Amino acid sequence: MSLFGGVISVSGITFLMFSVFVIAAVGYALGRITVKGVNLGTAGVFIVALLFGCFFFTPLADQLPNYTDKALKIVENLGLILFVTSVGFIAGPKFFSNMKKNFKSYVLLGLLIIIAGGLSAVACIYLGELVGYGSTIQTREGFTAMIVGLLSGSLTSTPAFSAAKDTVATQYESLVSVGHGIAYIFGVLGVVLFVQLVPKLSKANMEEERAKLTQVSEGATKKPYTGKLIHIDSFGFGAFALAAIIGVLVGMIKIPLTAEGYTSLFAGEGIKGTAFSLTTTGGCLLMSLVFGHFSRVGKVSIMPQESTLKVFRELGLMLFLIGAGIPGGAEFVENFDPMYFVYGVIMTIIPMIIGFIFAKYVLKLSLLNNLGSITGGMTSTPALGTLINTAGTEEVAAAYAATYPIALIAVVLVSQFLIIIFK
């Protein structure tokens, strides 16, 4: 038995599912290993997925000829939808009150982190001119494409990656992809370790920090509804699915960023040139925040059960890391260059540290609010999952959700700006 005219076999899909479960089992076991109070947690799944991609990507491709990348993209996108929609629902009840109190802080921090990343990229471009672009890159435009790819990988930003590929000349699109793949690994692990190490090194009292985080939205939360609610289903799957459907549709809306784009749109030719969209991530996050905030429409509940959200959040993160990790591991081995990897590390560490210091000493944010904002500013989905476990509270998701949209828009614009300036 086969699907799609015999191209994708049932045995191939079975092998993919088997691989997903093996990676999950081994990855969670690895994530439990703790050294001085620090562990990889769910990021252990990412490490195992990378190793699987390094050594077993070819057998997987043999089982799913011509469709391996698409199958893994389905796994990745499904995980992303489950995770960000869960985060939005969790953060929704306190998100808008939190935004009202800290709006300027979140905007400033999100912009600062991305600008710091952009300036780090500029420094790497000039450094590359001094020491040589690399054995395979001979032009400044090609090297810029590589650096912008590294920047999107360092910030684990798929929208920036897509925008960069659309902006560079066709012959340099592959360099953007290579750079993204090289930097993505440390982009994930660097922030994951950072949000665990900072509380340890600062010897933070987590109980006190959780109390400070709770105070941010105290007194502004809506009063609970006292009437009898009508639930679509007992787990809240229906409400979750509705938010995800609307979120995906919202994420598909594209806004032209060039005059050519508007001209082609009004001419009925579709959008040509560079365009901005919230993507699936931003759309699902936005709609689940709205659903979580209102929680009901009349007497009909649009809020899933807390247990459902926790399961979907963890399941989604696991699937996302596996879907992104397997091809990432294969690309990393194929295209690895120590110099480019160092550039990627620089573009992860510098904006993260600058953002943390600014939030702590200038914005005076509490530790968990600070770290939650950092995960949003770095657009790091895996780091948020780790931070929730480290903090012992779901409320850090509100800071992530508040900073993330600002960073999302900024990193797309900065990536395109770098390509245009450094041709």
Say how many C-beta atoms besides its own lie within 10 A of residue 231's C-beta.
16
Per-residue model confidence (pLDDT) at position 134: 65
Per-residue model confidence (pLDDT) at position 1: 39
Per-residue model confidence (pLDDT) at position 139: 81
Per-residue model confidence (pLDDT) at position 410: 87
Say how many C-beta atoms besides its own lie within 10 A of residue 421's C-beta.
10
What distance in Å separates the CA atoms of residue 142 and residue 146, rounded to the nearest whole number? 6
Two structure tokens written together for 233: 């289903």
Whole domain around residue 198: which residue ranges? 2-421
Question: Per the structure, how many domains does the chain have?
Answer: 1
Residue ranges of the chain whose pLDDT lies below 70: 1-10, 134-136, 138, 159, 162-163, 166, 216-220, 222-224, 257-276, 334-335
Supply the pTM of this predicted model: 0.76
Q: What is the pLDDT of residues 282-293, one digit of tens each?
A: 789 889 989 999
Give the torsion sign (CA, 136, 141, 147, 152). negative
How deeply is 145 buried, as exposed, middle or buried, from its count of CB atoms within 10 A (0-12, 13-18, 19+)?
A: buried
Two structure tokens written together for 77: 């996108």
Residue 279, helix vs strand vs coil? helix
Per-residue model confidence (pLDDT) at position 264: 67
Q: What is the DSSP string of 300-362?
A: EE----HHHHHHHHHHHHHHHHHHHHHHHHHHHHHH--HHHHHHHHHHHHHHHHHHHHHHHHT
What distance in Å separates the CA atoms of residue 341 and residue 332, rounded to the nearest whole number? 10
Q: What is the DSSP string of 391-419?
A: HT-TTHHHHHHHHHHHHHHHHHHHHHHHH
